[in-house]
Structure 1
Amino acid sequence: MAMFMDVHRGMVGITAEQLHEAHNADLAIQAEEGVTFERAWADPEGGVVYCLSEAPSAEAVKRIHERAGHPADEIHPVAFTA
């Protein structure tokens, strides 16, 4: 499985509770696409949310986020971490 970092823009003012709810919406259906969402981060001032996942493809990540109600603006493969 590959790792992906996705980016959601336009989320100015997102709260910790809203981020938690969005992450839980992904977790509730992630298995249907073979995705495992690891973590999510938010910058409320800039309106950007980042999510790290392990998935069979970027398309699987995209489908889960769309179904959960918060489509990703960008999805990037992560070749390695430090």
Structure 2
Amino acid sequence: MPEFMDIHHGMTGITADQLMEAHQADLAIEGEENVHFKKAWADPKSGEVYCLSEAPSAEAVQRVHERAGHKADEVHEVPLSV
């Protein structure tokens, strides 16, 4: 299944608890779109949050994020990794 990296901008000051809460919201509904969120990272200073997932499409990733209440600003397929 393809992997995707998505980016959320404007989350300046996000805490570890808030990141975990957002990630858990995604995990709670990811199966409905056949998406699996593997990991999330955040930089509270810049406000950038990154999520790595496996999904059938970028649109499926976005639908989960939207339903969980935090639409991604960018979703990129990651066709190569090492």
**TM-score of the alignment, normalized to the shorter chain, above 0.5:** yes
2:14 is matched with: 14
Aligned length: 82
2:55 is matched with: 55
Give the TM-score normalised by the residue count of structure 1: 0.99
Matches within 5 A, 1:1-82: 1-82=1-82
Q: Deviations over 1:4-57 (max 9, x none)?
A: 000000000000000000000000000000000000000000000000000000
Give the TM-score normalised by the residue count of structure 2: 0.99
3-state SS in 2 of match to 1:14: coil
Runs of 4+ in 1 over 6 A off after TM superposition: none
- Give the Å deviation of 1:81: 1.1
3-state SS in 1 of match to 2:4: strand
Q: Deviations over 1:45-75 (max 9, x none)?
A: 0000000000000000000000000000000
- Give the Å deviation of 1:80: 1.6
* Unpaired segments ≥5 residues, structure 2: none
* Unpaired segments ≥5 residues, structure 1: none
How far, CA to CA, are the matches of 1:81 and 1:27 in structure 2? 23
